[in-house]
Amino acid sequence: MPPATPAPPPAPADAAPTPPRDDTPASWRRGRRLLWATLRLLGSLAVTVLGLLAVTFFIGRVVPVDPVLAVVGDRATEAAYQAAREAMGLDRPLWEQFLTYVGNALTGDFGTSVLTSNPVASDIARVFPATLELATVATIFGVLLGVPAGVIAAARQGTWVDHVIRVVGLIGYSVPVFWLGLMGLLVFYAQLDWVAGPGRLDLLYDGFVEPVTGVILIDSALAGQWDVFQNAVSHLVLPASILGYFSLAYISRMTRSFMLEQLRQEYITTARVKGLPERVVIWRHALGNVWVPLVTVIALSYATLLEGSVLTEIVFSWPGLGFYITNSLLNADMNAVLGGTVVVGAVFIGLNLLSDVLYRLLDPRARP
pLDDT in tens, 145-202: 999 999 999 988 889 998 999 998 888 878 888 888 889 889 888 888 888 888 888 8
Give the span between the Cα atoms of 297 and 279, in whole angstroms.
Answer: 24
- Structural domain includes residue 359: yes
pLDDT band at 251 (very low <50, low <70, confident <90, very high): very high
Report d(CA 264, CA 115) in Å as an integer: 57
pLDDT of 21: 54
> Is the domain of 304 the same as that of 354?
yes
- Are 238 and 318 part of one and the same domain? yes
Residues 267 and 295 in one domain: yes
- The pLDDT value recorded for residue 195 is 87
In a domain, 229, yes or no: yes
The Cα 183–Cα 131 span in angstroms is 21
- Residues 280, 182: one domain? yes
Q: 116 or 131, which is more confident?
A: 131
78, 106, 134 — which closes off a domain? 106
| 173 and 65 part of one domain | no
pTM: 0.79
Looking at the structure, do residues 153 and 93 belong to the same domain, yes or no? no
**Per-residue pLDDT, 145:** 92
Question: Is the pLDDT assigned to residue 284 strictly greater than 80?
Answer: yes
pLDDT at 6 over 60: no
Residues 95 and 174 in one domain: no
Residue 280 placed within a domain:
yes
Segments forming the whole domain that contains residue 91: 45-106
CATH number at residue 152: 1.10.3720.10
Least confident of 1-5, 49-53, 96-100, 216-220: 1-5
Which of 140, 178, 142, 126 has the alpha carbon at shortest distance from 343? Answer: 126
Band (332; pLDDT cuts 50, 70, 90)? confident
* Same-domain status, 71 and 161: no
117 in any annotated domain = no
Together in a domain, 77 and 195: no
Indicate the number of domains in the chain: 2
Residues 96 and 135 both lie in one domain: no
Give the residue ranges of DSSP H helices in the chain. 26-62, 67-72, 78-87, 94-106, 120-155, 160-174, 177-184, 216-223, 226-263, 266-273, 278-280, 287-308, 310-315, 321-330, 334-362
Q: Quickly state the pLDDT bin for 237 (edges 50, 70, 90).
A: very high
Question: Of residues 235 and 83, which shows the higher confidence score?
Answer: 235
Query: Which of 57, 76, 106 delimits the end of a domain?
Result: 106
pLDDT in tens, 190-213: 888 888 888 888 888 877 888 888
User: Pick the residue with more confidence: 67 or 348?
Assistant: 348
Residue 342: inside a domain, yes or no?
A: yes
- State how far the Cα of 46 lies from the Cα of 41, in Å rounded to an integer: 9
User: Given pLDDT bands bounded at 50, 70 and 90, which one contains residue 17?
Assistant: low
Same domain, 299 and 246: yes
| Within a domain: 25 | no
**Predicted local distance difference test score (pLDDT) of residue 151:** 92
Single out the residue in 55, 71, 106 at which a domain terminates.
Answer: 106
Q: Does residue 5 lie within any of the structural domains?
A: no
Percent of the chain with pLDDT over 90: 11
Residue 326 has pLDDT above 90, yes or no: no
Tell whether 253 is covered by a domain. Answer: yes
> What is the C-alpha separation between 333 and 63, in angstroms, rounded?
12
Whether residues 218 and 73 fall in one domain: no
